[in-house]
Amino acid sequence: MEYPKLILKSGRDRAMILRHPWIFSGAIKTLPQAENGDIVAVCDNDHKLLGYGFFSSQSQISCRVFEYTTQPKSFDTADYWIEKVQNAYTLRQKFVLETSPKPTDCFRLLHAEGDFLPGVIADVYGSVVVLQVLIKGTEKIKDYLIEGIRRIGYDKIYLKNKQNTEWLEDVQLSNGWLSDDKNPEQKIEVLENGVKFLIDFEKGQKTGFFLDQRDNRELLRYYSAGKKVLNAFCYTGGFSVYALAGGATKVDSVDISKDAVAVCDQNVMLNFGENAPHASFAEDCFDYLKRCTEQYDIMVLDPPAFAKNARSVPNATRGYKELNLMGFRKIKSGGLIFTFSCSQHIDTDLFRKIVFGAAADARRNVRILHQLHQPSDHPVNIYHPESEYLKGLVLYVE
């Protein structure tokens, strides 16, 4: 099958040669005769084939590349896409399911460019897969993806797009079940490293849970024995439950969302009953840190993304610095701070500089014990550094 051609300007093919999956509008010499979401052949200025991608007429990223090749290929059958899903699942079997220290039945199955499938996120929660189709191109091949998910053994598939409107490119899909085998409830119980969580994938943020912190939560469990722990921006209590599982003597969970705090309390109850040393507060985390007098041994500072786009980076930088500065000023001598940024536009170097600035202003001796990142089921395409969005530090504060 012959696909419409997208021709790059002379000298603007280097990104393709280096396998970066995004082609920006400024690099294009000739637009393809294609509709939004169509598969196009990406060619250099001499019309030599470099690969294939999904065309977008509505974004500065005019093409998201999924295949690099100099030989013509066809993508109008299911086999190619099913193989991508199966390859992604094989990676999770090897490096998540078979290596988790304790029982785990929730993980990310498809991680967009990290699995060479731009515009697709799929998370597994027990027997349910929550699928996000974020660009028009993957909407057009969604049936192939669904078939691939079913072939690896998951028949309950829930489509969820409504909380990702900043990504959607005229995607015309309704939220809901994609099969007749429907789960009567939108909230299910899963296991992560032997810890129980209730997942509300219909009403919760993203797909219902932040699976990218699994390894970092396990590290917190290791350090929590006998400690007083603050979990700021707790959402549904992932770090809180792990701290309690590790033997923390006191855990305080803070989030501005009353609904999230309510689920946090449910997760604590699910694992430890009514007598767990846990308290929750539905309030702004900055306000809580300003007023609190508790001497915590460990603070977890895991805010939502402060930088949604490049324009918001300066404000986000100030927000991250203020948050970490308050942490440094409040933490007990000899305490630990687990601090994170999930903003794609705040790279690792910038985040470290922000934390350095906060430490300098606090005038305390601070040492890095661990540099944290997303787990193996959120793989980073080495040619696409933007997919390394989660960065974190464990800091020892004298």
Q: Is the pLDDT confidence value at 286 over 70?
A: yes
Residues 266-280, mean pLDDT to the nearest whole number:
97
**Could you tell me which of 58, 62, 48, 57 has the C-alpha nearest to residue 13?**
48
Two structure tokens written together for 382: 């080495």
Q: Is the pLDDT confidence value at 164 over 60?
A: no
pLDDT of residue 185: 67
Give CA–CA dist 313/243, Å, rounded.
31
* pLDDT tens digits, 215-272: 999 999 999 999 999 999 999 999 999 999 999 999 999 999 999 999 999 999 999 9
Give CA–CA dist 171/279, Å, rounded.
41
* pLDDT tens digits, 65-112: 999 999 999 999 999 999 999 999 999 999 999 888 789 999 999 999
Q: What is the pTM of this model?
A: 0.93
Order of strands across the sheet that contains 335-341: 278-282, 250-255, 228-232, 298-301, 335-341, 391-397, 366-373
Which amino acid, 253?
S
| Cα→Cα distances 19→13, 54, 270, 296, 351, Å | 10, 15, 46, 46, 26
Per DSSP bridges, beta strands 120-125 and 106-111 are antiparallel
Q: Which residues contact 349 (CB under 8 A, 6 or more apart)?
A: none
Residues 191-195, mean pLDDT to the nearest whole number:
96
What HEC string does 285-297 produce?
HHHHHHHCCCCCC
Give CA–CA dist 357/320, Å, rounded.
10
Q: 86 and 152 in contact (C-beta within 8 Å)? A: yes
pLDDT of residue 373: 95
H or E stretch covering 155 = none
Two structure tokens written together for 293: 């007098």
Residues 146-155, mean pLDDT to the nearest whole number:
96
DSSP codes, 8-64: EPTT--HHHHTT-SEEEGGGEEE--S--TT-EEEEE-TT--EEEEEEE-SSSSEEEE
H or E stretch covering 348 = helix 348-362
* pLDDT tens digits, 313-361: 888 899 999 999 999 999 999 999 999 999 888 999 999 999 999 999 9
**Could you tell me which of 382, 384, 388, 381 has the C-alpha nearest to residue 350?**
388
Q: 189 and 196 in contact (C-beta within 8 Å)? A: yes
Give the distance between the most distant pair of CA atoms in the chain.
Answer: 71
Which amino acid, 349?
D
pLDDT of residue 241: 98
Cα torsion 352, 358, 361, 366: sign: negative
Q: Is the pLDDT confidence value at 162 over 80?
A: no
Two structure tokens written together for 142: 């969604």
| Mean pLDDT of the residues in the chain | 93
Q: Is the pLDDT confidence value at 166 over 60?
A: no
Angle between helices 313-330 and 348-362 (to 10 degrees): 40
Give CA–CA dist 309/305, Å, rounded.
10
* pLDDT tens digits, 291-309: 999 999 999 999 988 877 8
What domains does the chain contain, in order, with CATH numbers? 5-68 (2.30.130.10), 78-186 (3.30.750.80), 210-397 (3.40.50.150)
